[in-house]
Amino acid sequence: PQTLTFIESCIKTIPDYPKPGILFRDITSLVEHPQAFKTTIDLLVEHYRQVPLDKVVGTEARGFIFGAPVAAALGLGFVPVRKPGKLPRSVFEESYELEYGLDRLQIHDDAIQPGERVLIVDDLLATGGTVDAAIKLIRRCGGLVDQAAFVISLPDLGGEEKLRAAGVEPLSLVQFG
């Protein structure tokens, strides 16, 4: 409703970034706005307040901006999923496909205990490649994950179907077609 329209109005769209032909949805303009940032976090928190959860996982780097405050508000621990070489202890690693080539993500292998229930938070769902790698990392730790939250979804890019096929239900506040 009105709140979601307000959040959507705070997201700037940058044409041809980072490459020609891409419409980049910029969440820095959203988090710069104190009311828009707080409202976004509050909406995500409200959605999961009654859901039994143990940890929130956020993916580098914009997933940290939203995932950490959601975790703190829900009284949960926050676990960063990071690009290679950033985490100091023993890690699990997963590769995932980009438009051109492969990228990798890592998690501390003891960050999630077997049986812990995990929520993934990221800024934006596009093809679902990033979140799919996060799901695999959580499951390799023995964690249980069936929910993922995004500020923005681009439903035309197939990420929602990919997530559901992996047994994870996506939530998004704003959709851009």
User: Which sequence positions are flagged as catalytic?
Assistant: 62, 99
The size of the interface with ligand 5GP (CB under 6 A), counted in residues, is: 15
Residue type, 165: A
**Residue of 69, 143, 159, 170 interacting with ligand 5GP (CB under 6 A):** 159
CB neighbour list of residue 17: distance below 8 Å, 6 or more residues apart: 24
121 binds ligand 5GP (CB under 6 A): no
Asked whether position 106 contacts ligand 5GP by CB under 6 A, the answer is no
Binding to ligand 5GP (CB under 6 A) within 71-100 occurs at: none
8 Å CB contact between 81 and 112: no
Residue closer to ligand 5GP by CB (options 49, 83) is: 83
Q: Nearer Cβ to ligand 5GP, position 4 or 127?
A: 127
Q: Is 7 helix (H, G, I), strand (E, B) or coil?
A: helix
How far from chain centre, in Å, is Cα 80?
A: 11
Contact with ligand 5GP (CB under 6 A): which of 44, 79, 121, 124?
124
- Continuous H helices in 14-171: 28-31, 34-48, 62-74, 129-140, 159-165
Rule CB under 6 A: is residue 6 a binding residue for ligand 5GP? Answer: no
Q: Which of 67, 69, 129, 170 binds ligand 5GP (CB under 6 A)?
A: 129
- CA torsion 11→58→60→94, rounded to 10°? -130
Helices within 10-128 (DSSP H only): 28-31, 34-48, 62-74
Residue 130 within binding range of ligand 5GP, rule CB under 6 A: yes
Taking the complex as a whole, the smallest distance from the CB of residue 59 to ligand 5GP amounts, in Å, to 5
Q: Which of 39, 40, 59, 106 binds ligand 5GP (CB under 6 A)?
A: 59
Residue 5 has φ and ψ, to the nearest 5°, of -65, -40
Pairing state between β 55-59 and 117-125 = parallel
Q: Which is nearer to ligand 5GP, 49 or 104 (CB)?
A: 104
Q: Which is nearer to ligand 5GP, 17 or 49 (CB)?
A: 17
